[in-house]
Amino acid sequence: MKLSGAKVLITGASSGIGAATARAMAAAGADLVLAGRDRTRLEAVAAETGGRAVVCDLAAQPRVLAERAGPVDVLVNNAGVGWSGPFARMSQETLQHLVAVNLIAPIRLTQLLLPGMIDAGRGHVVFVASIAGVIGVGREAVYSATKAGLITFAEALRHELRDFSGVGVSVLLPGVVDTPFFERRGTPYTRRAPAPIPPERVANAIVAAIRYERPESYVPGWLRLPARLRGAAPGPFRALMRFFG
Ligand SMILES: NC(=O)c1ccc[n+]([C@@H]2O[C@H](COP(=O)([O-])OP(=O)(O)OC[C@H]3O[C@@H](n4cnc5c(N)ncnc54)[C@H](OP(=O)(O)O)[C@@H]3O)[C@@H](O)[C@H]2O)c1
């Protein structure tokens, strides 16, 4: 799909991967609608990329965002939050917040904007999931579950839309990305490996996924190896996970 002149809505555009994606999309000539909660940061990204800022809380107001955005050619469901710690101690509020922002909001926003794409006979929906959604990460059980849900939702939607609608679906599976994500979830990333990658790499992968209709993109690409190992040889995979933590 051509991005030049396409109307693209990016959620979570005020920071990290979303802001980098806005810059990459602007360079590709897209007409941007940028969503986030932090007005100051969002408006700064909008000024830099020529986009229109829509400030709203996705967990509470997906319909407000869809109405203010209007029909779009491309939806990038990127906004997300993390939490790390023992599952047994996770508060109910945090649990519900993660599920609301990471899983329900992108599904609902897609449901609101997809009919316009189907009517137009063209469009693309992107989901920024995570490698955690494929392999499952200890102390990030609910986060992993929300991303797994997103991956399976995208797969099912792709089957449903295949052949007739002209609407593509892509899933991004980043590993560790150097953004404020870890600081915000309240637990810094402390492992030595894998090293965090810059958000621009994920942004470029999103642009390529839309241009070349890629169903699934691991960023960096080697992350598909643990994902495949888990499917093909779960026993050795679990032994390796114990070893590497
Ligand atoms: N960083 C990583 O290592 C990593 C790895 C794999 C996947 N991911 C995924 O990548 C996506 C982007 O994360 P990031 O690393 O760029 O993190 P980030 O810098 O913390 O950005 C998160 C974005 O989500 C928005 N957001 C959060 N809650 C929201 C809500 N209730 N309503 C509307 N917007 C909300 C934030 O907007 P405001 O700041 O304006 O509230 C912000 O723009 C997330 O889905 C994350 O799960 C990240």
Total domains in the fold of the chain: 1
What H or E segment, with its residue span, contains residue 141?
helix 141-161
C-beta of residue 42 within 8 angstroms of C-beta of residue 16: no
* Separation of CA 10 and ligand 1 centre (Å): 11
Atom 34 of ligand 1, nearest CA residue: 36
pLDDT at 225: 94
User: Which domain does 233 fall in, by range?
Assistant: 7-244
Catalogue the active-site residues: 143
HSE (CB half, 13 Å, CA atoms) of 236?
A: 8
pLDDT digits (tens, 9 = 90+) for 54-78: 999 999 999 999 999 999 999 999 9
184 in a domain, yes or no?
A: yes
Neighbours of 2 (CB within 10 A): 12
pLDDT at 59: 94
Span 20-43, average pLDDT: 98
pLDDT at 193: 83
Q: 52: helix, coil or strand? A: strand
65 in a domain, yes or no?
A: yes
pLDDT at 242: 85
pLDDT digits (tens, 9 = 90+) for 125-155: 999 999 999 999 999 999 999 999 999 999 9
2 in a domain, yes or no?
A: no
| Predicted confidence (pLDDT) at residue 244 exceeds the cutoff of 80 | no
| Predicted confidence (pLDDT) at residue 105 exceeds the cutoff of 90 | yes
33 in a domain, yes or no?
A: yes
Q: Could you tell me which residues come within 8 angstroms of residue 203 by beta carbon, excluding any fewer than 6 positions away?
A: 17, 20, 21, 23, 24
38 in a domain, yes or no?
A: yes
Banded model confidence at residue 103, pLDDT cuts 50, 70, 90: very high
For ligand 1, pick from 78, 97, 102, 170 the residue to mutate: most ligand atoms within 8 Å of CB: 78
pLDDT at 81: 98
Considering the chain, what is the average pLDDT of its residues? 96
Q: Check: pTM over 0.75? Answer yes or no.
A: yes
We report the CATH number of the domain holding residue 203 as 3.40.50.720
Q: How far apart are CA 40 and CA 28, in angstroms?
A: 24
C-beta of residue 151 within 8 angstroms of C-beta of residue 112: no
Q: Which atom of ligand 1 is the closest one to the Cα of 199?
A: 16
pLDDT at 241: 86
Q: Which atom of ligand 1 is the closest one to the Cα of 183?
A: 20
Atom 2 of ligand 1, nearest CA residue: 177
Pocket lined around ligand 1, Cβ cut-off 6 Å: 12, 14-18, 36-38, 42, 57-59, 78-81, 101, 128, 130, 174, 176-177, 179-181, 184
1 in a domain, yes or no?
A: no
Query: Cis peptide leading into 194, omega within 30 of 0?
Result: yes
What H or E segment, with its residue span, contains residue 184?
helix 181-185
Residue keyed to tokens 């023992």: 86
